Structure 1
Amino acid sequence: MAVDSGQRSLFGEILDWMLAPLLLIWPISVALTWLVAQGIASRPYDRELGEMARTLGLQVASTSAAQVAGRTGKAQYALAPEAAALLRADESDTVFFQVLGLRGELLSGDAALPVPADEDLIVPWELHFRDDEVANERVRVAYLWVSPEGMAGASKTMLVQVAETLGKRSKLTNEIIKGVILPQFVILPLAVLLVWLALARGIAPLNELQRRIRSRESSDLSPIDERRIPEEVAPLVRAINDLLARLDQSISSQKHFLADAAHQLKTPLAGLRSQAELAQREIDEGRSDPAELKRSLQQISLSSQRAAHMVNQLLAMARAEDQEHAARREDVNLPDIAIETVRDFVPRAFDKRIDLGFEGPDQDQSSLRVLGHPLLIRELIRNLVDNALLYTPFGGTVTVRVVEDPFGQVSVLQVEDSGPGVPESEREKVFQPFYRALGTNVDGSGLGLAIVREIAQQHEAEVSLDDTRLRRPGQVDPDGHGPGARFTVRFHAHPADKPAQ
C-alpha cells in the first residue's frame, strides 16, 4: 500500500489547472452548441411554416362575406382542396390549422389548437410565432390576424393559425450537434496529450537542474549557474545561492571556531600532562618531595579548572547559538536575575578586594519585563561580570546597573569596572571568539564577550562598549586605575502586566 507523503507535484498541479477549465468549458460548449443548433434548425422551418400561414390567410381573406356567413347567420368556412393538400403534404410531422371568425368562433380546422394570449395591439397581416402544445405534444405555431376583403379595422379580423410538430427540427438539431461535437471527442484527447507533452518539455530544465545539484559533492557550496535555468526559476535559484553562501560562511566560522577551541584546549591539557609526568618522574627517581608534589598537584588542579572553564564556555556558546532553544521565551525580571548573579560573584570579588555592587530597582518594584530566555540572559550577565572581575585590579570597583526607560521602551543593563579599559580600535574585536586585548596577562578563555553578543543578538538587543571614565590621553588617575570599561545592553521591554506574545 502506497503511503501518501503529503508532497504536491508541480507537474500535476499545473496539469490540473490547465485541464480542469478545459473539462469544465467542454460541457458548456456542448450546451451552447445545442442552443445554437436549435436556432439554426428552426429558422428555415419557421419560414416555411410562416409561408403556409400567410397563404392560408390570403385564401381566407379572398373569400367573400357571403361565403363566410350563410343565410342562417352561422359562420362557415371550407378549406380549399389545394390548401388542404399543401398542409397535409408533410410526412415527418403532423400539421394543424385553425381559422377563427370575426367573433372568435371556429370556422374550420382543429379545435384543440390553443388560442394565443390576448394582445393589446392587433396588427392585421403581422406574422407571429410561438411554442405551444397540442394533445401533450409540443408544436411550433405560426399565426396572424386577417382582415376579409371589404372590411377594415382591428375589430374586423379573423385568426389564422398553422402548427406543426418538432420532428424535423429535432432531427436537424441532432445532425448539427453530431457534426460539431463528434470531432471534439478526437480534439479533446489530442489537446490533453499536447498539454502533457508541453508541460513535460517545459519542466525538463527543472529535471536538469535537479540532476546538476544531485551530482555535486557534499563539500561543494559554490553558487549554482543562473545562466542555464529558466527565468521563472531564477528567483528560487538565487535564494538557494544565498542560502549556500550563508551556509558556507557558517561552516567556515564553525571550522575556525573548532580550530581555535582545539588550540585553546591544548594549553591546559599540555599543562596537565607535563605536571603529571614531572610528578611521576620525581617519584620514580626517589625525589618525591612533598612540597614539590603539592606544587605539581596545584598546577594540575589549575590546568583542570582552566580546561573545565573552557568546556563550560564552549557549551554556553553552543546554547547561545541554538535558535530553537533561544526561541522559547518568557517574561524575565532583569533586576531579579542581575541581583542573583551579583550575589554568586561576591566571594570571588571579596578574594580580590573588589567592590562589587548593584544599582537599580528592587525585585518587587520593577515595572518592566524583558521577553527572553532566563538561562541565556543569566549567562549573559555572568559573562559580563566575570569579564569585569578578570580585568579589574585588586581594590577596584565593579558595578552592575539596571536602568528602566520611563517610557516603557527599553530595559538597560550596564556592567562597568575600573580596569584598564579597551582601546577604541579593539572594541569590536573583543566580541570575537578567543580574542584577547594585547598587553593583558589575564587568564581567560576569550569566549565570554562572544557569548554575550550572541545572546544579545538572539534577543534583538544592542550591545555597546565605552569607557567608564572620560579622560585625556596620557592622563593618569590618582587612584592608579584605568579608564575602565562599560558594557551596555539594551533590551526591548514591555510592562510587567502585559502577557508575553
Structure 2
Amino acid sequence: MTPLSWSRASIRRFLLVLLLPGLGAVFAGELWLAWRTASEAADAAYDRSLLGAVKSIDSSISTASGGLGVELPYRMLEFFELTAQGQVFYRVATEDGLVEIGSANLPAPPRPLLTGQPQFHEGAYVGQAVRVGSYARELDPPLAGPAGPQRVVIQVAETLEARTGFRRSLVLQSLARDVLLMVAASALLALAIAWAMRPLDRLRQEVDARDPQDLTPVDDTGAPAEVRPLVQAINHHIARNREQAEARRRFIDDASHQLRTPLTTLATQVAYAQREADPSAQRGVLDKIRTQLDETIRQTNQMLALARADSAPPQRQPFDAVALSEALVRQWWASAREQGVDLGLDAPDGPVPLQGEPDLLREALANLLHNAIRHGGAGGHVTLTVRADASGAVRLSVVDTGPGLPPEELARAGERFFRGGGGALPGSGLGLAIVRTVAQRHGGQMQVAPGSEGRGLAVTLTLPAPPTSEAVSG
C-alpha cells in the first residue's frame, strides 16, 4: 500500500495488518521451539533407556578367564527392543578392536570417549538411521597378552521409529495448543481494538448529531488520554469558529445600529432637496448631504476595520515603527494645518523594530490622529510619540491638548459606540474601540489617560517586543 492509502485506511485494519504478521512470526517461533523442546525431551527419555541397556551389558562382561566374555541379558534386550518399537544392535569390543562381540561397524562416536562418561550420537547402520549410546571403561583385570591398562567399549544402537513418533506426538500437541492460542489471541486483539475505538465512534456520533449552530465545546470527560488531545484540538477549532461567528454577528449588529440613522437622515435630506425650489437653499441641503455621506463612509470604513481586526487571520511581518509613524504624520499634516492644529512627531533617530500587521496599526493610529486633530481645536497641539524600553516593548502615544475626557468616562474609553458626554461633533464611537482591538490583536494593550499637565488626552498603545531581531521594513 502507498503512504496515501495507508493514511486513508481504518485504524482497525491498520493495526490488524501490523499485528497479525507479528503474531504469525511468534507462532512460527513457538513451533520451532516446540520442535526443539520435543526433540530434547525425546532424546533425554530414550537416551536414558539406551544407557540402561549399555549398563546392563557392561555388568555382564567378564575377563576372569583371561579373555573377554559377555553373558548377554537377552530378556532385557528383548524388552528394550519392544520399547524402542524397532531394531536394537549392540557391540562390545576392546578399544584396539582386536576383540569384538556383536554388531560390527556400528557408527563410531564423533568425539573420543572419556572413561566412565557415556556419549550419544546419531548415525546410519545397514541403511537405517540409528541412535547410538557409547560407553568406555577400563578392564579389571585386563586381558592376557597386551601390557598396560585396557579399555572396553560398549555400544547399543536403536532405530528411530519410537523416538520420532514420540517427538511427533509432542509437536502435534504443542501445535494444537498454539493454534488455539493464536485464534484466541487474534479474537482478543480484534475485540480489544474494537473496544479501544469506541471513544472515537462516540466522538464521531456526538459531532455528527450536533446542530450546525451548536458551537459549545465537546465534553472530553470520558475520553482516553490518547483521544483527549484530539478533543482539545476540536474544541480549539470550535472556539475559533465561535469567535469568527461572534465577530460576524457583532459586525451585522454594528452595521445595522450605525447605518440605520445616517441612511434615514440621508433619505430625509434628499426628499427635502427634491421639494426645495430655491437653488441656494437646495445647495445648502446638498452640502449637508455631502457632509453626512462623508461621515457615513467614515463610519463604514471604521466598522470594516474593526471587523477585520476582530476576525481576519493574522499576517504578521517585521516593520519599523518610526517609519510608519513618519508616514502617518506626513499624511495628516495637511488636515491638521487646515484645522489650525500643530502636529508633531517625537521619535528616536534610528529604527524601532516591531512585528505585527502594519496596515491595522496604521488604521489604529490614524483613528487616534483623526480624533485628536478633530477635537483639539484651533491652536491645539497633537504629538505622535514613539518609544522603546529596555525590554524591547514599544509604546506609541498620541497626545493632544483638547478638552479630553472626564475622569468618570476614562474607564469606558474603548467601548464600542461610547462617546464622551461633552462631544459636540458627530461620530461613531468606534475609533478607540478599533485601537483597543488592534492592540489586543498584537498582544498588547491600550491605556487612556489625561495629557500632560492634566490637559487633553493621551492614548498609548504598548506592544510587546518582536520575538527575534529581524530586519525591519518601512
TM-score, normalised relative to structure 2: 0.81
Distance in 2, matches of 1:218 and 1:92, equals 81
Determine if contact 1:461/1:489 at 8 Å carries over to the other structure: yes
Determine if contact 1:355/1:397 at 8 Å carries over to the other structure: yes
Indicate the residue corresponding to 1:479 in structure 2. Answer: none
* Residues 316 and 106 of structure 1: CA distance in aligned 2, closer, same or farther (over 3 Å): farther
SS of alignment partner, residue 493 of structure 1 = coil
SS of alignment partner, residue 430 of structure 1 = coil
Indicate the residue corresponding to 1:489 in structure 2. Answer: 462
Letter in 2 for 1:308: I
Letter in 2 for 1:463: M
* Residues 209 and 496 of structure 1: CA distance in aligned 2, closer, same or farther (over 3 Å): closer
Task: Give the stretch that moved more between structures: 196-205 or 440-449.
Answer: 196-205
Indicate the residue corresponding to 2:372 in structure 1. Answer: 388
Q: Deviations over 1:85-130 (max 9, x none)?
A: 65877886565555452457673544462334247xx443x33434
RMSD (Å), alpha carbons: 4.0
Determine if contact 1:104/1:158 at 8 Å carries over to the other structure: no
SS of alignment partner, residue 42 of structure 1 = helix
Residue from 402, 417, 424 that aligns with 1:419 = 402
Distance in 2, matches of 1:313 and 1:208, equals 45
Letter in 1 for 2:134: Y
Amino-acid identity (%): 28
Determine if contact 2:131/2:159 at 8 Å carries over to the other structure: yes
Indicate the residue corresponding to 1:344 in structure 2. Answer: 331
Measure how far apart 1:410 and its partner are.
2.7
Q: Which runs of 5+ in 1 are unaligned?
A: 69-76, 472-481
Indicate the residue corresponding to 2:47 in structure 1. Answer: 46
Indicate the residue corresponding to 2:382 in structure 1. Answer: 398
Determine if contact 2:94/2:150 at 8 Å carries over to the other structure: no
Indicate the residue corresponding to 2:307 in structure 1. Answer: 318
Distance in 1, matches of 2:17 and 2:444, equals 49
Is 1:297 aligned to 2:289, yes or no?
no
SS of alignment partner, residue 485 of structure 1 = strand
* Residues 140 and 91 of structure 1: CA distance in aligned 2, closer, same or farther (over 3 Å): closer
Distance in 2, matches of 1:234 and 1:493, equals 33
Is 1:159 aligned to 2:153, yes or no?
yes
Measure how far apart 1:224 and its partner are.
5.6
Q: Number of residues paired by the alignment?
A: 463
Distance in 1, matches of 2:297 and 2:49, equals 110
Q: Deviations over 1:351-376 (max 9, x none)?
A: 111111112233xx32x522223323
* Residues 193 and 91 of structure 1: CA distance in aligned 2, closer, same or farther (over 3 Å): closer
Is 1:276 aligned to 2:270, yes or no?
yes
Distance in 1, matches of 2:94 and 2:325, equals 114
* Residues 488 and 458 of structure 1: CA distance in aligned 2, closer, same or farther (over 3 Å): closer
Residue from 328, 332, 355 that aligns with 2:319 = 332
TM-score, normalised relative to structure 1: 0.77
Letter in 1 for 2:250: H
Residue from 214, 222, 233 that aligns with 2:208 = 214
SS of alignment partner, residue 437 of structure 1 = coil
Is 1:143 aligned to 2:137, yes or no?
no
* Residues 18 and 496 of structure 1: CA distance in aligned 2, closer, same or farther (over 3 Å): closer
Measure how far apart 1:281 and its partner are.
1.3
Determine if contact 2:395/2:461 at 8 Å carries over to the other structure: yes
Task: Give the stretch that moved more between structures: 455-464 or 237-246.
Answer: 237-246
Measure how far apart 1:240 and its partner are.
5.4
Distance in 2, matches of 1:341 and 1:133, equals 106
* Residues 263 and 169 of structure 1: CA distance in aligned 2, closer, same or farther (over 3 Å): same
* Residues 174 and 385 of structure 1: CA distance in aligned 2, closer, same or farther (over 3 Å): farther
Determine if contact 1:370/1:494 at 8 Å carries over to the other structure: no
Determine if contact 1:264/1:445 at 8 Å carries over to the other structure: yes
Q: Deviations over 1:376-405 (max 9, x none)?
A: 333333233233323323221111122234
Q: Deviations over 1:181-223 (max 9, x none)?
A: 2354455445534544565466556545544443333233456
Q: Deviations over 1:238-286 (max 9, x none)?
A: 775676567556534542342122111123222221111111112xxxx
* Residues 435 and 24 of structure 1: CA distance in aligned 2, closer, same or farther (over 3 Å): farther
SS of alignment partner, residue 281 of structure 2 = helix
Distance in 2, matches of 1:342 and 1:437, equals 26
* Residues 49 and 260 of structure 1: CA distance in aligned 2, closer, same or farther (over 3 Å): same
SS of alignment partner, residue 260 of structure 2 = helix
Distance in 1, matches of 2:234 and 2:90, equals 82
Measure how far apart 1:83 and its partner are.
9.2
Determine if contact 1:320/1:455 at 8 Å carries over to the other structure: yes
Is 1:35 aligned to 2:22, yes or no?
no
